[in-house]
Structure 1
Amino acid sequence: MTNTEPSPDDEQPRVLHVTTDEAVRERVVRQFAAEQPSLDVVPVTTDTAADHLGDVDCVLSDHALPETDGLALLRAVRTTHPELPFVLYTAAGSETVASEAISAGVTDYVQQSDDREHVALLARRVWNLATRYRTTRTVDAQERRFRKLVEQSSDVVSIVDANGVFQYVSPASRHVFGYDPEELVGEVGFQYLHPDDVEYVAETLARAIADPTARPVITFRFDHPEKGWIVLENTGRNLIADPDIAGFVINSHDVTGRVERATQLERQRDRLAEFASVVSHDLRNPLTVASGNLSLIEATEDVSHAVDVRLALERMEAIIDDLLTLAREGEDLTDLSAVPLAQVAEAAWQSVDTKAARLVVETDTVVMADAGRLRQLLENLFSNAITHAGPTALVHVVDVLDGCGFAVSDDGPGIDDGLDGIFDYGVSSSPTRTGFGLAIVRRVADAHGWTITVTRGADGGARFEFRDIERPGDASEPTSNDSDPGENAVVADDAVTTD
Structure 2
Amino acid sequence: MSGRTRVLYVDGAADDLDRVHTLPDGDVPVAETADTAAEAIDRVEAGGVDCVVFGGELPDATGVEFLHRLREIGPTVPCVLFVERSFDPTAAAAIETGATGYLHRNPGVDQTDALSEAVGTALDRCRERDLEATQERFRGIIEASSDVVSILDADGTFRYLSPSVEEVLGYEPSELVGQGAFQYVHPEDRDRVAREFATAVDDPDRTPDAEYRFRHADGSWRVVGSRGTNMIDDPVVEGVVVNTREVTDRRRRDQRMDVLNRTLRHDLRNAMNVILGNAELLMRDHGTDDRAEAIRRTAADMLELGNKVRDVERALDTGERSREMVDLVSVVEERLAAVERSEPEVTVEADLPESEWVLANRQIGSAVDDAIENAVEHNDADDPVVRVTVDEARLTGEAAVTLTVADNGPGIPEEELDVLTGGETPLEHTSGLGLWLIKWVVNESAGEIAFEESDLGGTVVRITLKRASVGQTIDLV
What TM-score, normalized to structure 2? 0.39
TM-score, length-scaled by structure 1: 0.37
